[in-house]
Chain A
């Protein structure tokens, strides 16, 4: 009888154990579908294309056609436009300088100096030029190079959502499925006296319900990022994100953009998701 009771107790204990295991198993399976939407966000595509500049060259404005350098560099390449039939170049009168292990590209230099010293003045043929930086074969954000040159006293970063009327995909108050496309327009402007520099924003952060779900810095652009950044819609000046697997209910989306001096601007939107 004791052995029977014992075995009965054992069976009971085993059953309880099985039940407990099953419960935890179910719990583990349910967890991905919990209300913490942030864990399930997949950013499918991040598109960047900038209205005032190429990617990754940036546009630089100098009111008196001059730029004071604070770097030493040697001219290694230049290509001038001689014939009006030379319509096969993106850049006009391009000069490339070597400074350490960096290549600095500057456009609209009809007579590029062979060497540039730290306090030299470079004279351009236009007051709007393009600049790019290559280090170890990949593009570097030129703002790092130009920042000490232009000694910014003011820098502004701007970000906007677009109205639904302007574009096919924008930001809405209600979504019928759990894929949220958002379209924003963002850029940084650096101003100092006779210089202005419009560039990509230095950093983007996206928060969903106070939790950061995405962060990107545009300091180095490798080929992989170029491919990602250029796979864009026909609209060249917007940044588009797709956030998927957002849970039903009300949410708050915040987008924060930064310039190089860590100034930031933020936009905030409430929206509701309802799945059918």
Chain B
């Protein structure tokens, strides 16, 4: 009788330990909200916090510049849509694009186009015509306060995904090709990836010319490739998804996001290339934005109904989340030590990653 009782207790203990260690994302009380701005009305929750840099709050139809003493200035144009770049903004008015220097706020006409492709970390950007195939590549030069058109291209097919790093453009095309353009090394190539009829996602970082794609269906695979499009390594994913994206971080971590879960890998680029699965959590939706810090990365995930702000801590190797109960779409880094802003068109929150998460 005693043995049975002890066995039952041990079983319960094992069950509890199992559920405690199951991959999940916990709420973080240490992700502090320092301030909240709603339509230019400020609520400062942490009075010791001082804003030392300018936030360019993109509100789609205007950009509100939040300066260090919480002054608000709008950069506005009639019926326009704004895009964020590193040292510049783009404004689309009707079908015309204008580039705006962040420092001088000088505005210059660029070209007629339908959409712009920008990255908050890069001064490279692209404009795409309505046909979806004609693309012009630009570089914003901060010292000259202007954007230079580097090259025009016509793609052979529409793209599924793209990434703009500090020095290159990467596109995955629907016909199984990848297009890479590095204007600094004057490398431009459209590679046909072997055995790849359809590419879902492409990712790259600024620290190397290698890149990652997710390709194929039944089976769906991750490929590591070099700048010439040669396959260095491939790994099959356990399941196929119609919507799947990859993100290659600067510290060689790879995120694969499908509609229901997030997989985090470490990539080894040495002689024996490999992917090591570090973490796998259930989190629904698509990554809307992501920012990398030295010890963490922060991202917003949404399935249209719920919006979650999530953090991964490299030290503890765990995920944490915070639900702001409101739609949030974009993240802006304020301080590389862990202060950032998240926002939608009307509200902005300034948060801090506590060092002791």
Interface residues of A (CB under 8 A from B): 49, 54-55, 57, 75-80, 82-91, 96, 98, 103, 105, 132, 134, 137-139, 223, 226-227, 230, 234, 236
Instruction: Name the interface size band of chain B.
Output: 35 or more
Q: Give every chain B residue within 8 A of A76 (Cβ-Cβ).
A: 198, 217, 242
B351 CB, min distance to chain A CBs, angstroms? 19
Select one of A80, A223, A234 contacting B156, CB under 8 A. A223
* Contact B174–A83 (Cβ < 8 Å): no
B132 CB, min distance to chain A CBs, angstroms? 4
- In the assembled complex, B154 has its CB within 8 A of some CB on chain A: yes
A153 CB, min distance to chain B CBs, angstroms? 30
A82-B133 contact given A87-B83, A226-B154, A227-B154, CB 8 Å threshold: no
9-residue interface stretch from B21-29, B41-49, B113-121, B136-144:
B113-121
Q: Give every chain A residue within 8 A of B157 (Cβ-Cβ).
A: 134, 137-139
Besides the known contacts A77-B160, A105-B158, 18 further A-B residue pairs in the complex with CB atoms under 8 A apart? A49-B131, A57-B132, A76-B217, A77-B174, A80-B243, A83-B329, A87-B81, A88-B116, A90-B114, A90-B132, A91-B132, A96-B174, A98-B217, A103-B174, A105-B174, A134-B174, A223-B154, A234-B112
7 pairs of A and B residues whose beta carbons are closest in the complex: A137-B175, A90-B132, A223-B156, A83-B329, A54-B131, A55-B131, A85-B329
B303 CB, min distance to chain A CBs, angstroms? 8
Select one of A55, A98, A134 contacting B175, CB under 8 A. A134
Interface positions, chain B 294-338, Cβ under 8 Å from A, are 302-304, 329-330
For the complex, what is the distance from the CA of A138 to the CA of B242, rounded to whole Å?
A: 21
* Contact B158–A132 (Cβ < 8 Å): yes
Q: Give every chain B residue within 8 A of A223 (Cβ-Cβ).
A: 154, 156
For the complex, what is the distance from the CA of A176 to the CA of B132, rounded to whole Å?
A: 39
A84-B60 contact given A75-B242, A137-B156, A226-B154, CB 8 Å threshold: yes
* Contact A54–B175 (Cβ < 8 Å): no
* Contact A78–B242 (Cβ < 8 Å): yes
* Contact A230–B133 (Cβ < 8 Å): yes
A78 CB, min distance to chain B CBs, angstroms? 5
For the complex, what is the distance from the CA of A247 to the CA of B175, rounded to whole Å?
A: 45
* Contact B160–A79 (Cβ < 8 Å): yes
For the complex, what is the distance from the CA of A80 to the CA of B286, rounded to whole Å?
A: 10
- In the assembled complex, B177 has its CB within 8 A of some CB on chain A: yes
Chain A, Cβ-Cβ closest to B160: A77
A-B contact list, 25 entries, CB within 8 Å: A49-B131, A54-B132, A77-B160, A77-B242, A77-B243, A78-B242, A80-B304, A82-B302, A83-B288, A84-B345, A85-B288, A87-B60, A88-B115, A90-B132, A90-B158, A91-B158, A96-B174, A103-B198, A105-B174, A132-B158, A134-B174, A134-B175, A137-B177, A223-B156, A230-B154
* Contact B115–A82 (Cβ < 8 Å): no
* Contact A83–B117 (Cβ < 8 Å): no
Select one of B133, B217, B286, B330 contacting A226, CB under 8 A. B133
For the complex, what is the distance from the CA of A64 to the CA of B70, rounded to whole Å?
A: 51
- In the assembled complex, B128 has its CB within 8 A of some CB on chain A: yes
- In the assembled complex, B285 has its CB within 8 A of some CB on chain A: yes
* Contact A137–B154 (Cβ < 8 Å): no
Q: Give every chain A residue within 8 A of B258 (Cβ-Cβ).
A: none
Q: Give every chain B residue within 8 A of A55 (Cβ-Cβ).
A: 131, 133
B86 CB, min distance to chain A CBs, angstroms? 16
A137-B176 contact given A79-B160, A90-B114, A105-B158, CB 8 Å threshold: yes
For the complex, what is the distance from the CA of A78 to the CA of B217, rounded to whole Å?
A: 13
B69 CB, min distance to chain A CBs, angstroms? 27
- In the assembled complex, B93 has its CB within 8 A of some CB on chain A: no
- In the assembled complex, B134 has its CB within 8 A of some CB on chain A: yes
Q: Give every chain B residue within 8 A of A103 (Cβ-Cβ).
A: 174, 198
Interface positions, chain B 172-201, Cβ under 8 Å from A, are 174-177, 198, 200
A54-B130 contact given A76-B198, A83-B329, CB 8 Å threshold: yes
A226 CB, min distance to chain B CBs, angstroms? 6
For the complex, what is the distance from the CA of A193 to the CA of B133, rounded to whole Å?
A: 33
A134 CB, min distance to chain B CBs, angstroms? 6
For the complex, what is the distance from the CA of A85 to the CA of B198, rounded to whole Å?
A: 26
- In the assembled complex, B58 has its CB within 8 A of some CB on chain A: yes
Chain A, Cβ-Cβ closest to B126: A88
* Contact B175–A230 (Cβ < 8 Å): no
Q: Give every chain B residue within 8 A of A90 (Cβ-Cβ).
A: 114-115, 128, 130, 132, 158
Chain A, Cβ-Cβ closest to B288: A83
* Contact B175–A138 (Cβ < 8 Å): yes
Q: Give every chain A residue within 8 A of B128 (Cβ-Cβ).
A: 90
* Contact A226–B242 (Cβ < 8 Å): no
A79-B158 contact given A84-B60, A90-B130, A103-B174, CB 8 Å threshold: no
Chain B, Cβ-Cβ closest to A79: B243
For the complex, what is the distance from the CA of A79 to the CA of B286, rounded to whole Å?
A: 10
For the complex, what is the distance from the CA of A252 to the CA of B118, rounded to whole Å?
A: 51
Chain A, Cβ-Cβ closest to B240: A76
Interface positions, chain B 190-220, Cβ under 8 Å from A, are 198, 200, 217
Q: Give every chain A residue within 8 A of B302 (Cβ-Cβ).
A: 82-83
Q: Looking at B133, B177, B329, B330, which has the most chain A CB atoms within 10 Å of its CB?
A: B133
Q: Give every chain B residue within 8 A of A78 (Cβ-Cβ).
A: 242-243
